[in-house]
Amino acid sequence: MTNQANGVKNRALARWVAEAAELTRPDRIVWCDGSEEEKARLTREAVARGVLIPLNPARRPGCYLHRSNPNDVARSEHLTFICTPNKDDAGPTNNWAAPDETYARLRGWLKGSMQGRTMYVVPYVMGPLGSPFAKVGIELTDSIYVALNMRIMTRMGRAALDLLGDSDDFNRGLHSTLDLDPERRLICHFPQDNAVWSVGSGYGGNALLSKKCFALRIASYLGHSEGWLAEHMLILGLESPRGETTYIAAAFPSACGKTNLAMLLPPQSFKGWRVHTVGDDIAWLRIGPDGRLWAVNPEAGFFGVAPGTSTKSNANAMKTVEHDTIFTNVAATPDGDVWWEGMGTEPPPGLVDWRGQPWNPQSGQPAAHPNSRFTAPMTNNPVLSPKAEDPQGVPISAIIFGGRRASTVPLVLEASDWSHGVFFGASMGSETTAAATGKVGVVRRDPMAMLPFCGYNIVDYFVHWHEIAGRLRNPPKIFEVNWFRKDRDGAFLWPGYSENMRVLKWIVDRVEGRAGAEPTPIGMVPRKEDLNLAGLDIAPDRLRQATSIDRGEWLSELNQIEEYFKRLGADSLPDFERRIKLAREGLEQRG
């Protein structure tokens, strides 16, 4: 076995890599340094092995296509485990397994699993370099695709080893694709050890251990004990024509438009308004010395959903993926470009589908997988915030919770205070999407969009959210949004995309105390005159439907929320009980 661990002085790291190699028996160990030379070398090798297919450099310079195993196209939540000594520490929303048994079982699977393969040692930093938020992870992986994606998604290489120094405080990620057999696929988290072992999958959140595994599940656990929050939130800066920027963090479940909102282009009538992206998926939030909530995006790239991304839905994402991007499971055109459903162009003849088969438009099958993705460096984004690399992060003035709901939830609601906002987040629901394996389109409760990502007991997580308030001197206002409400015929009531700017503007105006609102038993809603609707062609009746609170729908929603909290064991949280009671009383009085 060759091992280029030259000059690696960190003994804890060297020892751990040696242990993992002893178990998995790779032919070679390659320590990634993050250099351009290394990127070129790994890319050449991935191309030679058919892992990456080069795209036409005239159309997509520096871009590659990867086709995953068709059985491995989304996160596998049923195979994702939190392994804590006590089952109760994982709580009612997580799959739990005992740490010792799980290590033993995985060791059995991993024995010799890297024979004939290379083990890549991928050191990375989450959070801006020099930031008090920054944390180091090391992923050991036998997937060259993972190593190349990690290079885009994180600050990968030398910088991480430099930051680590001789400390043993780093996330230990061990990843092997084995033979991609779903019967031997498990994604296991050991919060007490700051470790993740993931086997049998090479896809996205299952395999890029920096992302959901470390930056959300493990980090939420660390945040709980250290007094901060790791959240499934985009971060954006909204700059007014006067040059004042307000920062907003927003939680939505996977594949509900977080990337689109984070890169939003305001409509024509909003002259001088600009959105800047700080992050599109994950936020680490801490209370600053000024008593405000400060946020960084721990990632350095975007792992965005391709289908539905178009010049209309997200012109900035289309620019972001013009170069130096890895596409996964999209369709390929005969001239070496990419295509997906909802790209806004007709499928060209001769298209090859995500499986690598000639695509037949009559087949009724999509050409790109619904969860096909692009991995692009955040610096490709034309509206990247100048604060994206700021070690201190950005001060958050508003938090948004959002889901995909065909009915009931209005376009936007404002909470009366922080704890009311925690109730919004804890009770939110969304229709399921293709981002996780399972049935698509059924409403499931997804507290704070963290259901698959909270690495500890969700009831403790709610309490942690409540307790944060006690230390905030200037808490952000909290809102709930729903861009996806439909009329009786199933048509969307609100145009969405760029027009969501109108809702963001109202939110900023509410933060500044400039806009009006109407109280309802559920929360504050904007009246027609409170929203800037200039240049928007929407029938007053449709706007009314989009923003209305239906008594019957909400009485039944509150029953469902109450039942859900009971199932979690969160019904005894005094504030939740009070919120439900107040909302019910208000609705009954409305008659």
Q: Which residues are catalytic?
A: 256
**Candidates 203-211, 313-321, 562-570, 572-580; binding stretch for ligand SAT (CB under 6 A):** 203-211
User: Which does residue 435 touch among Mn ion, ligand SAT, none (CB within 5 to 8 A, set by kind)?
Assistant: ligand SAT
Is residue 204 at the binding interface for ligand SAT, with CB under 6 A as the rule?
A: yes
Phi, psi for 577 (deg, rounded to 5): -60, -45
The C-alpha atoms of residue 269 and residue 507 are separated, in whole angstroms, by 18
**Binds ligand SAT (CB under 6 A): choice among 60, 66, 117, 211:** 211
CB of 134 to ligand SAT, least distance (A): 21
From the list 122-130, 275-283, 497-505, 515-523, the region that binds Mn ion by CB under 5 A is 275-283
- Please, are residues 238 and 250 in contact by the beta-carbon 8 Å criterion? no
Q: Which does 286 bind (CB under 5 to 8 A by kind): ligand SAT, Mn ion, none?
A: none
Distances (CA, A) of 498 to 72, 261, 317, 505, 509: 33, 8, 13, 12, 18
Separation CA 493–CA 408 (nearest Å): 12
Interaction between residue 254 and Mn ion (CB under 5 A):
yes
Per-residue CA distances from 163 to 38, 478, 549 (Å): 20, 35, 51
Query: How many chain residues are in contact with Mn ion, going by CB under 5 A?
Result: 2
76 binds Mn ion (CB under 5 A): no
Nearest approach, Cβ of residue 436 and ligand SAT (Å):
6
Span 266-305, contacts to ligand SAT by CB under 6 A: 303
CB under 6 A: which stretch of 204-212, 260-268, 416-424, 575-583 binds ligand SAT? 204-212
How many of the chain's residues bind ligand SAT (CB under 6 A)? 8
Q: What is the spatial distance between Cα 390 and Cα 127, in angstroms, rounded to a whole number?
A: 9
With CB under 5 A as the contact rule, the residue among 281, 299, 389, 414 that binds Mn ion is 281
Helix (H, G, I), strand (E, B) or coil at 245: strand
Helix spans in 432-573 (H): 458-471, 501-511, 540-547, 551-568
At position 192, the amino acid (one-letter code) is Q
Positions in 240-269 near ligand SAT (CB under 6 A): 254
Buried b or exposed e, range 177-205, using 16+ CB within 10 angstroms: bbebeeebbbbbbbbeebbbbbbbbbbbb
Q: Smaller CB distance to ligand SAT: residue 77 or 414?
A: 77
Identify what 204 binds: ligand SAT, Mn ion, none; CB under 5 to 8 Å per kind: ligand SAT
| Binding site partner of 211, from Mn ion, ligand SAT, none, Cβ cut-off 5-8 A by kind | ligand SAT
- With respect to ligand SAT, which residue has the nearer C-beta, 17 or 213? 213
CA distance 305 to 143: 21
Shortest CB 303 distance to ligand SAT, Å: 5
Q: With beta carbons less than 8 A apart as the criterion, state whether 198 and 211 touch.
A: no
Instruction: Name the segment binding ligand SAT (CB under 6 A); options: 113-121, 205-213, 376-384, 413-421.
Output: 205-213
> Cβ-count burial of 218 within 10 angstroms (0-12 exposed, 13-18 middle, 19+ buried)?
buried
Q: How far is the CB of 207 from ligand SAT (least distance, A)?
A: 9
When the beta carbons of 257 and 393 are compared against Mn ion, the nearer one is 257
Residue with tokens 């590659």: 64
Amino acid identity of residue 459, one-letter, is V
d(CA 454, CA 12): 28
Nearer to Mn ion, 157 or 204 (CB): 204
Instruction: Restricting to residues 402-441, name those near ligand SAT by CB under 6 A.
Output: 435
The Cα–Cα gap between 215 and 455 comes to 10
Stretch that binds Mn ion, among 250-258, 365-373, 462-470, 510-518 (CB under 5 A): 250-258
> At closest approach, how far in Å is the CB of 77 from Mn ion?
13
State the residues that interact with ligand SAT by CB under 6 A.
75, 204-205, 211-212, 254, 303, 435
**Chain contacts with Mn ion (rule: CB under 5 A):** 254, 281
